[in-house]
Structure 1
Amino acid sequence: MSSQHTRLNLSAGTASVTMALCLVVIKLWAVVQTQSLSVAASTADSALDLLVSALGLAGIVYASRPPDDDHAFGHSSAEDLTALAQALFLLVTAVALAGVSLQRLLSPAPAPLASEGTGITVMVISIVLTGALVLWQRRVARLTGNRVVAADSLHYLSDLLPSLGAILALWLSARYGITDVDTIVGLIASVVLFAGAVKIGTGAWNALMDRRVDPALIAEVETIIRDYPGIMGFHDLRSRTAGSQIFFDFHIELDGTLTLNEAHAIGAGLRRRIMETYPQMDILIHKDPCDADR
């Protein structure tokens, strides 16, 4: 990766962490002012964003470091360990938010909201700031091809919906005195947060247990191998993930009369072909004569 691309990726990661921290601070203030569950849900989501963004920034920094003697495959598994911690944090937040939401929903007296205008202003500011961040992240991802930045951009884009829900709840409370919508938004947000925790935790666990990558990705790699000139077959394909890094190793079957240089050229060309499409992959290719006993 070029130094310019590294700087762009670091700038996107730093901007993401800074933005998330600012959003958490102003939303916490809005929660105190409004006592709104929907704003609290948006605040919890921003707190998760801060953790995810910090993980992404750490991943970018780690990606720029070469493997060392103690970590021959790099340090990307630290991302999965951090993701498990994020999942636990998200589960606790979702359960707590659901409990408060149900308590309010079952209460005979509606929970009053306050300073709705202040809350709406804060949420509008958060939407504008988030939109600006998404635009910058998408530009960096387009220039560098960094999948961590691209994924972070999609995550922030999905966060705009809870913010819009909070604005709707506050507006209905201020205009018509309807507060149940705020509680319902908080309950829905808790379900979404819980589902996100399960997804993040499952992905991290699978990576730590060396589970194979997505079968669709395996099929695409197999197609590239099968169609590459000079390859007469392949076998023993294995895959795993560690953080944002993907590892593949496999055996290719070649004409046994090829010279070592010719066999090496085919293997190196195949590796370049795969990495043109999937630059985040770490690929190990073993070469066998096609008539060899496996």
Structure 2
Amino acid sequence: MTARGTEERLNLSAGLASVAVALVLIAAKLWALFQTGALSVAATLADSALDLAMSLGALAAIAYAARPADDDHAFGHTAAEDLAALAQSLFILVSAALIGGAAAHRLAEPAAMPVREGAGIAVMGLSIVLTVALVGWQRHVARATGNRVVAADSLHYLGDLVPALGAIVALWTSRRFGVSWVDPVVAIGAALLMARGALVIGRAAWDALMDRAVDAETVAGIESVARGFPGVRGHHDLRTRRSGGRVFINLHVELDGDQSLHEAHAIGAALKRAILARYPGADVIIHKDPV
């Protein structure tokens, strides 16, 4: 299987895992709601339903981006990932603002921590375990493929995880020491974490949609492969961009104009293979000019 095919399988596995976790949590929280009638459980149920909608959207974007190039999309469909990541980052920013505002209100007007029923505590524990596993897998996939949709979805679930852990800590400290400010402080910290991550992902998605060149380190790496490559006398007009998790590279190389076309083609093909060995899954076009 090609490197691109492996990345697509990893991205799809992360999307499917996200949808599966959301479905399991919805079922568990529905059971807990019928068992306890607690409004806190109803609120987390609504949040999980929203998670499912976001995850389905992310999965659809990943699946669409994996479609091969066609007559209408000669460079593939990977821009769908950047559009989805940009939309997710905006949603996460709004969520962070709402969480931060609610936490600030609770700090200004502290209220007693609600007592959770046993079923609610069990479901929250299940939610934390599944979310930790999901976020861990999504982070692994995002590092391996550079997929911003997976990274944004991971950030979204991390935003659910941190307040859940904070709520358990706040509940324990409230019972043990009578402290009520821990929960809103943890929520504000989670909101700031979400906002920072959303800005990073949103900016990267925006840069990709605007065809911004890839990072300087990658550009330098491409040039280092081309520089001094056997048969290559020089290079110029290196152009790069990123779409989804894929890097597009366009490079002009200078060759001996007196050699045969077969020899020139062999040098260009070998250079392309060398670049792909360093950046698997990239789309590389080599233009050959006489020195």
TM-score by length of 1: 0.78
Question: Alignment partner for residue 51 of structure 1, among 40, 51, 54?
Answer: 54
DSSP 3-state at the match of 1:252: strand
Whether 1:33 aligns to 2:38 is: yes
Q: What letter matches 1:33 in structure 2? A: A
CA spacing shift, 1:146–1:82, aligned 2, 3 Å: closer
Mapped to 1, the partners of 2:55 and 2:204 lie a distance apart of 14
Deviates more, 1:68-77 or 1:172-181: 172-181
Correspondence for 1:97: 99
Tell me, yes or no, if structure 1 residue 185 matches structure 2 residue 190: no
| Matching residue of 1:243 | 244
**TM-aligned CA deviation for residue 278 of structure 1:** 1.8
Q: Which residue of 1 aligns with 2:19?
A: 17
Q: 1:158 to 1:134 in 2, by over 3 A?
A: closer
CA contact (8 A) 1:138 1:153 kept: no
Gaps of 5+ in 1: none
Please give the alpha-carbon distance, in whole angstroms, between the structure 2 residues aligned to 1:277 and 1:53: 33
For residues 222 and 50 of structure 1, do their structure 2 counterparts lie closer, same or farther at Cα, with a shift above 3 Å needed? farther
The aligned amino acid for 2:239 is R
Alignment partners' CA distance in 2, 1:232 and 1:162: 58
Offset at residue 235 of structure 1 (A)? 0.6
Cα distance in 1 for partners of 2:153, 2:131 equals: 11
> Within 2, Cα distance between the matches of 1:238 and 1:80?
20
The code of the aligned residue for 1:87 comes to S
Aligned to 1:215: 216
Counterpart of 1:286 in structure 2 is 287
Cα distance, 1:221 vs. partner?
Answer: 1.5
The 8 Å contact of residues 94 and 191 in structure 1, kept in 2 or not, is answered as yes
Taking the aligned partners of 2:10 and 2:108, their CA distance within structure 1 comes to 50
SS at match of 1:239: strand
Deviations 1:222-266 (A, max 9, x none): 111214322121111011111222111010111222211111111
> Take 1:153 and 1:86, find their aligned partners in 2: how far apart are those partners?
6
Q: How does 1:82-231 map to 2 (within 5 A)?
A: 82-107=84-109, 109-115=110-116, 118-133=119-134, 146-148=145-147, 152=151, 155=154, 162-231=163-232
Residue 122 of structure 1 deviates from its aligned partner by 2.7
Q: Which amino acid aligns with 2:102?
A: V
- 1:279 Cα deviation from its structure 2 partner: 1.9
The aligned residue for residue 70 of structure 1 is 72
Structure 1 Cα separation of the partners of residues 230 and 145 of structure 2? 29
The Cα of 1:177 is off from its aligned counterpart by 3.3
8 Å contact kept, 1:44–1:93: no
Aligned with 1:249: secondary structure? strand
Q: How many residues are aligned here? A: 283
1:131-168 deviation line (CA, Å, top 9, x unaligned):
444676689899xx644499659947966655433332
Distance 2:139 2:102 in 1: 36
CA distance 1:12–1:96, shift in 2 (3 Å): closer
Amino acid at match of 1:182: D
Q: Quick one: distance in 2 between partners of 1:164 and 1:227?
A: 54
Q: Secondary structure at the match of 2:227?
A: helix
List per-residue Cα deviations over 1:30-77 (Å, max 9, x = no partner).
Answer: 8x83749xx96xx9699569736742x345423542211111111111
Contact 2:66 2:77 survives alignment (8 Å)? no
Give, in angstroms, the shift of residue 182 of structure 1.
Answer: 0.7
Change in CA separation of 1:104 and 1:133 when aligned onto 2, cut-off 3 Å: closer
Asked whether the equivalents of residues 85 and 149 of structure 2 are also in contact (C-alpha less than 8 Å), the reply is no
Contact persistence 2:113–2:171 (CA under 8 A): no
Q: CA RMSD in A?
A: 3.8
